[in-house]
Amino acid sequence: MEIVVSGIRPTGNLHLGNYFGAVKGFLQMQNEYNCFFFIADWHSLTTHPHPDNIRNSVKTILAEYLACGVDPEKATIYLQSDVREIPELYLYLNMNAGIGELMRTTSFKDKARQQLHIDRVNTTEGDVEKEIFNENNKHSVSAGLLTYPTLMAADIIIHKAVKVPVGKDQEQNMEMARRFARRFNSTYGVECFPEPASFYYSSKAIKVPGLDGSGKMGKSEGNAIYLIDDEKTIKKKVMKAVTDAGPTQPNSVKPEPIANLFTMMEIVSTKDTFDFFNEKYNNCEIRYGDLKKQLAEDINKFCAPIRERILDIRSDEDYLAKVARIGAEKASESAAKTLREVREIIGFRG
Ligand code: TRP
């Protein structure tokens, strides 16, 4: 079975966009591949979280994935920080990673800008570089941020994964992972690591729109409906959705805010419900208040059982600990096997 690895940054709760864009793909993949899904808690250190914050967000994200149906009997679900072989491989990969290539990655430059408090608009890339070396800037950029792509490469190739489900924003990190895998092979004249490919699962991933007029649903967009949101919260968010004065011509093309409401309805409502409101729209008889009420109800119908499972699982510390322990054992076994081979290749005791 082909090996799949994917890392999840423990940043906040899952929303509908995450569910339909990513989690649903995981549910499918766990039946078809040998999947390793992990919480990237080492990566989260680039933003220096408080220890309590780490403990909490890791448990929350674990509970939410489990509540969605990611199954510890099918996939290996673990915390990155439980697999100590990863940082050893990271060290080896860093010995052959160039600081130049790492500094040129877009996400590094973006995040370095933030860490140095450099204005995004009025500065060039050269300014970022100059500030990194400026001893008088009281802010600095961590080596951990620079080597984020090396750690990500280690996460992936430690299990010799060939498929990595990631968002489009991870393309450059994936390119680096392939490069570091190839470089290890060519440095030592071995075929140790296969090249991991990004895997979009595009036919199944659905882009969930935001309900605030345009664009997609996202945490940073501030327009997310979370799986944990209760009925009242969902209703409030949906009733606030942007609409317009309504169509004046039959069968008008829907402007984006309205199209987004219908797209959402297509995702969570029945076909009958969708067709009913679509017809009303086409007849210019649509009442957006009714549509939103129905949509809020259907979103709640979708979220309610997941929400209940999240609350149950999140409060069952023993279960969460057990899942993490079993995952850690399986992931460590796979990682240790690769690392023994790597150590021998490099010239250490295996
Ligand atoms: N960088 C990924 C993100 O920001 C998270 C991640 C870390 C990851 N390690 C990984 C994803 C390994 C896939 C494989 O979303």
**DSSP helix/strand/coil, 327:** helix
- Residues 173-194: pLDDT tens digits? 999 999 999 999 999 999 999 9
Rounded alpha-carbon distances, angstroms, from residue 225 to 18, 128, 182, 216: 10, 36, 41, 12
d(CA 219, CA 18): 9
Helices (H), 283-316: 288-314
Report pLDDT for 259: 95
Cα distance between residue 266 and residue 259, in whole Å: 10
CA 243 to ligand 1 centroid distance, Å: 36
Confidence of residue 204 (pLDDT cuts 50, 70, 90): low
Q: In what order do the strands lie in the sheet with 34-39?
A: 76-79, 34-39, 3-8, 163-165, 197-199
Cβ(40) – ligand 1 distance below 6 Å: yes
Measure 15 CA to ligand 1 centroid, in angstroms: 18
The helix or strand, by DSSP H or E, that contains position 148, with its residue range, turns out to be: helix 148-157
- CATH superfamily membership of 3-97+147-206+316-346: HUPs (3.40.50.620)
Catalytic residues: 111, 216, 219
186 vs 59: CA distance, rounded Å: 40
Share of the chain above pLDDT 90, in %: 85
Please, what's the b/e burial string for 180-205 (b: 16 or more CB within 10 A of its CB; e: otherwise)?
bbebbbeeeeeeebeebebbeeeeee
CATH 1.10.10.10 assigned to domain 231-312? The reply is: no
Asked whether 46 lines ligand 1 (CB < 6 A), one says: no
- Cα of 232 vs centre of ligand 1, distance in Å, is 33
Write out the DSSP string of 213-244.
Answer: SSSB--TTTT-PPBTT--HHHHHHHHHT----
Q: Which of 181, 199, 258, 188 is nearest to 37 (CA)?
A: 199
Probe ligand 1: pick from 152, 160, 199, max atoms within 8 Å of CB? 152
Is the model's pLDDT at 203 over the cut of 60? no
pLDDT, tens digit, for every residue of 334-345?
A: 999 999 999 999
- Taking CA atoms only, the protein residue closest to ligand 1 atom 12 is 7
Does this model's pTM top 0.85? My answer is yes
| Angle subtended at Cα 19 by Cα 71 and Cα 233, rounded to the nearest 5 degrees | 120
Atom 7 of ligand 1, residue of closest alpha carbon: 7
For 36-53, how does the pLDDT look when each residue is reduced to its tens digit (9 = 90+)?
999 999 999 999 999 999
Ligand 1 test: best mutation among 26, 158, 164, 166, most atoms within 8 Å of CB? 166
Q: Indicate whether residue 47 lines ligand 1 (CB < 6 A).
A: no
3-state DSSP call for residue 197? strand
Measure 152 CA to ligand 1 centroid, in angstroms. Answer: 6
- Check if 7 has its Cβ closer than 6 Å to any atom of ligand 1: yes
Cα 215 to ligand 1 centroid, rounded to whole Å = 23
Of 54, 115, 116, the C-alpha closest to 81 is: 54
Distance, in Å, from the CA atom of 350 to the CA atom of 334, rounded to the nearest integer, reads: 15
Mean pLDDT of the chain: 95
Best residue for ligand 1 mutational test, from 58, 89, 148, 170 (most atoms within 8 Å of Cβ)? 170
CB 154 within 8 A of CB 93: yes
Report the interhelical angle of 106-115 vs 125-132 (nearest 10°): 60
Q: List the structure tokens of 93.
A: 């990969």
Q: Where are the domains of the chain?
A: 3-97+147-206+316-346, 231-312
**Are 3-97+147-206+316-346 and 231-312 the same fold in CATH?**
no
Distance separating alpha carbons of residues 60 and 66, to the nearest angstrom = 10
Comparing CA positions, the residue from 179, 6, 3 lying closest to residue 93 is: 179
Question: Residue 202: which pLDDT band, with cuts at 50, 70 and 90?
Answer: low
Both tokens of 228, joined, read 């944990």
Task: Identify which of 229, 237, 281 has the alpha carbon closest to the alpha carbon of residue 258.
Answer: 281
Residue 117 has pLDDT above 90, yes or no: no
